Amino acid sequence: MTILQSQARQVFYSSIWRLVGYGLLLIAIINLLFLLIKAEITPLSELQTIIAIMERIPVALLGMVLIFYGQKGDRSFVEAIILKFLSWFSLIAAVVLILVIPVNINNGWQIYHQHNATANGQLVMLKDNIQQFKEQLTAANSKNEISALLQQQAKQIVNIPESANIEKLKTDLIANLQNNQDNIKNQEQPFREQKRSLLLKQCLRCNFGALISSILFLMIWKSTEWAR
């Protein structure tokens, strides 16, 4: 193989890699635009959008590396301008990704408090409903009254046998409700801890992804000084 043939083959492969790089970068940009269009201005939506963006960053990074492959060799004037823009874009991306970290921390903190407030409201309402039902059962003096209360809760017809002992029935129902109350109290803290742990993992994964991606974009910017 002659030197000219070797150079021609190298140019050919470089062109293929660069073409693939432009394609990957374009796919990443399109996905990013769709994510930003659908995003809502709420802490939860922002966190979910940032997580989705972090999952697509590797495609953009790979695209950038392939585009810059071969440095200035066999580049048109227009492509040289594009490379200069992409080099500076790498620096901008690195800065933006660093700024994402405090935004994530703030969003995670707000989501945690929102979840707590929602859970508190639901638990208080559930406890109040159970307590009210217990008081109504305690005040009931006949099978018809107990049956009406059960129907109100079950949203369907409830028939109590004629042979049923009212006091025993009331005692059993109240004991059942007390067990439900105890179960709610016992599950309340584990539920909160599970939610907090899940949120913390999401924030940490996203923040580490943003930090690593920022460093990689910065390295691309530093190593592409020739394009600027």
Tens digit of each residue's pLDDT (9 = 90 or more) over 86-119: 999 999 999 999 999 999 989 888 888 888 888 7
Please report which confidence band the pLDDT of residue 26 belongs to, taking 50, 70 and 90 as the band edges.
Answer: very high
Query: Is pLDDT above 60 for 8?
Result: no
* DSSP label of 225: G
pLDDT of residue 185: 77
Q: Which amino acid is at 225?
A: E
Tens digit of each residue's pLDDT (9 = 90 or more) over 178-213: 787 778 777 777 877 888 888 888 899 999 999 999
| The token pair that represents 60 in the structure block | 């953009």
Please report which confidence band the pLDDT of residue 15 belongs to, taking 50, 70 and 90 as the band edges.
Answer: confident
Query: Is pLDDT above 70 for 55?
Result: yes
Query: Is pLDDT above 80 for 156?
Result: no
Query: Is pLDDT above 80 for 174?
Result: no
- Torsion angle defined by CA atoms of residues 31, 46, 54 and 192, in that order, rounded to the nearest 10 degrees: -140
pLDDT of residue 178: 78
Query: Is pLDDT above 60 for 12?
Result: no
Query: Is pLDDT above 70 for 162?
Result: no
| The token pair that represents 223 in the structure block | 């190593």
| The token pair that represents 216 in the structure block | 């990689």
- For the chain, the average pLDDT equals 81
pLDDT of residue 46: 85
Residue 175 vs residues 70, 125, 137, 147, 172: alpha-carbon distances, Å: 77, 20, 11, 17, 5
Query: Is pLDDT above 90 for 24?
Result: yes
pLDDT of residue 217: 94
Asked if residues 191 and 120 have their Cβ atoms less than 8 Å apart, the reply is no
pLDDT of residue 13: 61
Which of these ranges, 25-29, 48-52, 166-170, has the smallest mean pLDDT? 166-170
How far is Cα 119 from Cα 132, in angstroms, rounded to an integer? 20
